[in-house]
């Protein structure tokens, strides 16, 4: 088996969508614009939380494994319609492991959706051998259909926090 086959399979399971510059269609089998009841039939929800601007957050009961990491996933609905998804993981890691996670997930986003208008950025405070070292890497891109994909990693000297946001055109979060 070619060594890239497992990576390609993982990318497809992360974001089941053909590579395209047309943008994000949803997360896994959850498509932007679907209703709460339809989404709940696909995968069960935990308790909902009301948020600002009319959004309601529904945590998914199962974790989503991406690149060897188990992510907590949340779906956000406004007026009963699926608008965006977040995936989060906090785990112990070295700065090098955190950098590799960022690169791998960014590559999966680009492979699934195209580059859009995004460029990676890095903010570093201190040096890796200092106690208070802090590093944030971010890739935020918009597509022609006004959807957004964002991945960020934050390393604080001990843990690596990975966050993924997939945003539908109707949500316009602005962050």
Burial of 23 (0-12, 13-18, 19+ CB in 10 A): buried
Rounded average pLDDT over 140-164: 91
How many Cβ atoms are within 10 Å of 155's Cβ, its own excluded? 24
Who has greater pLDDT, 69 or 10?
69
Residue 160 has pLDDT above 90, yes or no: yes
Q: What average pLDDT does the chain have? A: 82
Check: CB of residue 49 under 8 Å from CB of residue 149.
Answer: no
Rg of the chain taking only CA atoms, in angstroms: 16
Quote the CA–CA distance of 69 and 153 in Å, as a whole number.
13
Long-range contacts of 127-136 (CB under 8 A, 24+ apart): 128/95, 131/157, 132/157, 133/95, 133/157, 135/95, 135/98, 135/99
Quote the CA–CA distance of 148 and 109 in Å, as a whole number.
11
Residue 2 has pLDDT above 80, yes or no: no
State the Cα torsion 15-20-23-28 to the nearest 10°.
Answer: -20
Look at residues 94, 100, 95, 44 and name the one whose alpha carbon lies nearest to residue 68: 100
Task: Convert the pLDDT of each residue in 30-57 to its tens digit.
Answer: 999 999 999 989 988 988 888 888 899 9
At residue 166, the pLDDT reads 92
Check: CB of residue 155 under 8 Å from CB of residue 93.
Answer: yes
> What architecture (CATH level 2) is domain 5-167?
3-Layer(aba) Sandwich (3.40)
Confidence band of 11 (pLDDT split at 50, 70, 90) = very low
Confidence band of 172 (pLDDT split at 50, 70, 90) = low
At residue 7, the pLDDT reads 38
Task: Convert the pLDDT of each residue in 12-26 to its tens digit.
Answer: 344 444 444 567 898
Look at residues 145, 156, 154 and name the one whose alpha carbon lies nearest to residue 17: 145
Who has greater pLDDT, 16 or 58?
58
Task: Convert the pLDDT of each residue in 60-91 to its tens digit.
Answer: 999 988 767 789 999 999 999 999 999 999 99
At residue 169, the pLDDT reads 81
Kindly write down the DSSP assignment for every residue of 112-138, as one continuous string. Answer: HH--TT-EEEEEEES-TTSTT-EEEEE
């Amino acid at each position: 088996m070619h060594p890239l086959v497992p990576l390609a399979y993982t990318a497809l399971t992360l974001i089941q969508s053909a590579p395209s510059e047309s943008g994000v269609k949803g997360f896994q089998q959850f498509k932007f614009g679907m209703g709460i009841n339809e989404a709940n039939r696909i995968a069960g929800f935990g308790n909902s939380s009301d948020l600002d601007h009319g959004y309601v957050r529904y945590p998914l009961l199962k974790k989503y494994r991406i690149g060897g990491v188990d992510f907590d996933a949340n779906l956000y609905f406004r007026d009963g319609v699926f608008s965006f998804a977040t995936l989060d993981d906090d785990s112990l890691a070295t700065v090098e492991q955190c950098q590799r996670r960022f690169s791998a997930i960014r590559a999966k986003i680009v492979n699934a959706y195209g580059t859009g208008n995004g460029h990676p950025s890095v903010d570093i405070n201190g040096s890796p051998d200092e106690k208070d070292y802090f590093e944030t890497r971010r890739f935020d891109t918009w597509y022609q259909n006004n959807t957004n994909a964002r991945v960020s990693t934050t390393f604080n000297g001990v843990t690596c926090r990975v966050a993924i946001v997939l945003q539908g055109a109707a949500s316009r979060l602005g962050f």
